[in-house]
């Protein structure tokens, strides 16, 4: 009894070590470019077919042999396939599909970048046009400002000259008014003088005439 226990115990330990070693050396392999292969329940064509594996399908190697290899599928199902149909790298079709997918993604990214670049170019042209328009408006505004500044200076000069002329006109008007008053007074005085002179002449003439008549009358009375 003890002998059997020791014997089977040693056998169990060896089995565990074998499984552990197999798990350590397990690696991923791919079904070769052959279109389809069969996975069987044992390492022989006489064993039952468990599944059909397609080219590029990934399997995990459990026990690698020269003719048959024990593998495990992604769904956990295990079986045996011919070793010559397994390769360590992905098949050309699988790599081509991956490259095609990457190419498609890169093409989409490139198209998005081209579209974004076109939008940026359009925005740049728009900004450049707005900048040129604003620059022209600024130049026009600067010209109008200089013109207005010049006109304002001329206006101030004209205003100063006008105020000076208006002040001189007021002074001249006052002087002319004084002269007119002086002339009026002179004319009045002149008229009065002529009137008085005429009156004096009339009075003198009247007195002379009166005296003459009187002298003529005296001899006649003698």
Q: Which domains does the chain have, with CATH numbers?
A: 27-90 (2.30.30.40)
Produce one character per residue of 157-187: b if its CB has 16 or more CB atoms within 10 Å, e if not: eeeeeeeeeeeeeeeeeeeeeeeeeeeeeee
The model's pTM:
0.34
By C-alpha distance, which of 36, 28, 33, 34 is closest to 73?
28
Cα 10 to Cα 16: distance, rounded to the nearest angstrom: 10
Cα 52 to Cα 63: distance, rounded to the nearest angstrom: 19
Cα 203 to Cα 197: distance, rounded to the nearest angstrom: 10
Kindly give the confidence (pLDDT) of every residue in the chain, 222 residues in length, as a single tens digit, with 9 standing for 90 and above. Answer: 444 344 445 445 445 444 444 444 567 776 555 568 899 999 999 999 999 998 888 899 999 999 999 999 999 999 999 998 888 876 666 555 666 777 788 888 888 889 888 989 898 889 988 888 898 888 888 888 888 888 777 788 888 888 888 888 888 888 888 888 888 888 888 778 788 877 777 887 777 877 776 666 555 444
């Amino acid at each position: 009894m003890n002998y059997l226990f020791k014997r089977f115990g040693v056998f169990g330990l060896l089995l565990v070590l074998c499984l552990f070693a197999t798990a350590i050396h397990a690696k991923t392999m791919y079904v070769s470019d052959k279109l389809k292969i069969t996975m069987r329940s044992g390492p022989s064509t006489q064993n039952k077919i468990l599944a059909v594996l397609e080219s590029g399908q990934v399997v995990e190697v459990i026990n690698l042999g020269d003719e048959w290899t024990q593998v495990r599928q992604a769904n956990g199902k295990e079986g045996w396939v011919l070793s010559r149909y397994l390769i360590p790298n992905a098949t050309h079709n699988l790599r081509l599909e991956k490259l095609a997918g990457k190419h498609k993604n890169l093409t989409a990214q490139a198209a998005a970048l081209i579209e974004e670049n076109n939008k940026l170019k359009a925005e740049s042209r728009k900004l450049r046009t707005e900048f040129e328009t604003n620059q022209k408006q600024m130049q026009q505004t600067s010209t109008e400002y200089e013109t207005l500044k010049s006109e304002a200076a001329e206006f101030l000069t004209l205003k100063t000259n006008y105020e000076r002329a208006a002040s001189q006109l007021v002074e001249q008007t006052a002087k002319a008014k004084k002269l007119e008053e002086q002339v009026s007074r002179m004319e009045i005085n002149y008229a009065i003088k002529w009137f008085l002179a005429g009156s004096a002449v009339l009075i003198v003439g009247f007195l002379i005439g009166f005296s003459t008549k009187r002298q003529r009358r005296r001899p006649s009375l003698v």
